[in-house]
Amino acid sequence: MEYRTGSIGRVVVARFSDGEDLLEGLKDLARKESLRQAFFFIVGGLKGGDFVVGPETEELPPRPMWRSLKESHEVLGFGTIFWDASEPKVHFHGAYGKGDSVKVGCLRKGAETFLILEVVVLEITGFQAERRLDPQAGLPLLRFV
């Protein structure tokens, strides 16, 4: 295990409206506010999105098992923002519920807001970290610099 200690910097509260893309919006926010390192919480609704529910097998690089939201779902989740070179990368895991069905996974694309999503973003200060492509995993993983 590697770790660093830091502090909370700025706090940003954002509201996403019906139809807006959560993941793209968070990237835009990170660019506009120069949020190099942050974590966030969300609560609200999504009506679309593709997410990963685990690898097909325990091999590296992992082959993701994909699922999709095709209608409105309640959502609650947590994520991080760290940059990969000149691009912010969002890593978000959430629970998506409708009726008695609940799905959990890593939202990766097409994250379309239903009605409203409230997002609280907390900046991390005091050390530097980024995402770098890990050749074995085939994914941009967190690294301390």
Is 135 among the domain residues?
Answer: no
User: What is the average per-residue pLDDT within 94-118?
Assistant: 97
User: Does any domain span residue 72?
Assistant: yes
pLDDT score for 9: 98
Residue 94 domain boundaries? 7-127
Q: What is the pTM of this model?
A: 0.95
For residue 48, what pLDDT band results from cuts at 50, 70 and 90? very high
Model confidence band, residue 98 (pLDDT cutoffs 50, 70, 90) = very high
CA 41/CA 79 separation, integer angstroms: 7
Q: What is the pLDDT of residues 3-20, one digit of tens each?
A: 999 999 999 999 999 999
Do the domain assignments include residue 108? Answer: yes
For residue 2, being part of any structural domain is answered with no
Q: Is residue 134 situated within a structural domain?
A: no
Confidence at residue 39, expressed as pLDDT on a 0 to 100 scale:
98
Domain-located, residue 12? yes
